[in-house]
Amino acid sequence: MEFLIEYGMFLAKATTIVLAIVIVIAVLASSGQRSRKPGKKGSLKISRLNEHFDDMKEALRSSVLEKKELKQLHKEEKKQEKELAKQEAKAAKAEAQQESESGESAGSRKKRVYVINFKGNIAADAVSSLREEISAILTMAEAEDEVMLRLESPGGMVHAYGLASSQLVRLRNAKIPLTICVDKVAASGGYMMACLADRLVAAPFAIIGSIGVLVQLPNFHKVLQKYDVDYEMISAGEYKRTLTTFGEITQKSRDKVQEDVETIHDIFKSWVKEHRPSVEIDKVATGETWLGSQAKERYMVDDIKTSDEYIIDACKQADVFEIEYEFQKTIQDKLGRVLEEGVAKAVSRWFQQTHVDKYQ
């Protein structure tokens, strides 16, 4: 009896704590919603990557080199900077004189490279940020500038990746050079986006391709029949529904879906061929994937290099800015994100542990 009383007290305390936490979260969420600026969706986060790499370089040199050696190096760099400044001033003077004589203004400046990122899932949710980033870039970018997209996506829904691809078409229509770098994977819908690049760069072991279309879903019609469960669906239009989760799949429905899949595949092939005319489309549109070096042999990519190499090279001759659009997050969003990351870490830890045990 005493045990039951103690257990009841513990349960009451635990329930009180949980309720208190829920009330606090609700109050914070409500106040967070009231404090949000009306009409403001989010903000741009801009980082100058030239400074980022310079800071890392200086931090490493300060730790590795002797003070005397570092001082001498700084002295030589200042001398080089002065010489470079003289050369630039001389070139600017000559350019100004040429403009004066011709009556035209060249308006030359240092090239800018805008770096954006797209990490795609099945629904291509990253398109929400992508469209804002491209809209911002188009307000300033000129023909001598460049946009570099770091792309990672295994593909997903046709309409979602169609919209993501259409955002990149906006850059092409504005005559802004587009470089796409693939470090890990650009398959299916990911490659639909990648083939829009003026220059497509892939890491040696990046996964490229999967030019195909897939439809799959489980069907529980036989299970329902076994347990004598009726399933009704009322629709208008012969092909309003074809394959469903609970309805009986007929050969007519199956044939219709097959026809639709082949139509989408033909459109996908035409898209790739239009934007990468050098590929032998019938040989690569088999649904297969290739590593970066293999894809280059098939003219599916233009160069083998990581995005890090590309950006560091760009920093030597251009001002490089990383652009990221961040949406305002509610307290619910933040708590959901924390919960999602916690679950992901737990699953990852379990997966790693089971595989380690298996191979020990």
Nearest residue to 114 (alpha-carbon basis) of 311, 350, 355, 284: 311
Contact 196, 214 (CB under 8 A): no
* Annotation marks residue 240 as catalytic: yes
Q: Which two tokens stand for residue 195?
A: 């083939």
For residue 48, the tally of other CB atoms under 10 A from its CB is 13
Beta-bridge partner residues of 114: 147, 321
Q: Which two tokens stand for residue 229?
A: 């469960």
For residue 50, the tally of other CB atoms under 10 A from its CB is 18
Residue with tokens 């490229």: 208
* Consecutive H or E run containing 91: helix 67-102
Helices and strands (DSSP H and E) totals, the chain? 12, 9
Per-residue 3-state assignment (H helix, E strand, C coil) for 146-175? EEEEEEEECCCCHHHHHHHHHHHHHHHHCC
151/182 Cα distance (integer angstroms): 5
Q: Which two tokens stand for residue 2?
A: 């005493």
Contact 272, 188 (CB under 8 A): no
Beta-bridge partner residues of 289: 209
The catalytically annotated residue of 129, 153, 188, 210 is 188
Contact 155, 124 (CB under 8 A): no
Residue with tokens 């997209």: 149
323/164 Cα distance (integer angstroms): 17
For residue 355, the tally of other CB atoms under 10 A from its CB is 10
Q: How far is CA 132 from the centre of its chain?
A: 13
The catalytically annotated residue of 67, 222, 240, 283 is 240
* Annotation marks residue 188 as catalytic: yes
For residue 193, the tally of other CB atoms under 10 A from its CB is 27
* Consecutive H or E run containing 75: helix 67-102
Active site residues: 188, 240
